[in-house]
């Protein structure tokens, strides 16, 4: 009888121990999960930071470009590859002013310079 009781106690203890282990294991797992989540969060934050920094850099660059664009107000702001008349890019059908090297679509200036377009000399409306 006493032996049986002792055995039962032993079993109870073993059960208790397994339970304890299970709890510990679960705790450990939860801790790992938490750590992983924290790592992920940190990574995500870092990425967002980088994106933010990149955007700021791009905006600063654009600002610098705008600032350096300069030029006085009444000067026409047309890029070198755009026709000075319609401000659209030209491809092959353009003519260059012999004085200032401004370029125009032939179609854009032909109304005013019909006679000269085919010749070598061309003087634009700015000259
Ligand atoms: Zn044009
Ligand atoms: Zn010109």
Chain segment 57-112, per-residue pLDDT in tens: 888 888 877 766 554 455 556 666 889 989 888 877 788 888 898 888 888 887 66
Give CA–CA dist 126/106, Å, rounded: 16
Reported CATH class of domain 73-127: alpha beta
Mean pLDDT of the region 34-50: 95
Residue 18 reports pLDDT greater than 80: yes
Contact 88, 78 (CB under 8 A): no
Residues whose Cβ atom is located within 5 A of ion ligand 1: 83, 85-86, 105, 108
Kindly give the distance from the C-alpha atom of residue 70 to the centroid of ligand 1, in angstroms, as a whole number. 23
Contact 57, 50 (CB under 8 A): no
Residue 20 reports pLDDT greater than 70: yes
Q: Which residue has the higher pLDDT, 33 or 127?
A: 33
């Amino acid at each position: 009888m006493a032996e049986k009781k002792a055995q039962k106690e032993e079993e109870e203890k073993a059960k208790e121990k397994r339970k304890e282990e299970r709890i510990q294991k679960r705790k450990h797992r939860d801790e790992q999960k938490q750590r992983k989540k924290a790592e992920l969060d940190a990574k995500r934050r870092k990425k967002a930071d980088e994106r933010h920094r990149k955007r700021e850099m791009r905006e600063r660059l654009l600002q610098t470009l705008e600032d350096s664009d300069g030029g006085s107000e009444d000067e026409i702001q047309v890029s070198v590859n755009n026709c000075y008349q319609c401000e659209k890019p030209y491809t092959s059908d353009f003519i260059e002013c012999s004085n200032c090297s401004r370029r125009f679509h032939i179609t854009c200036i032909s109304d005013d310079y019909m006679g000269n377009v085919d010749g070598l000399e061309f003087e634009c409306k700015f000259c």
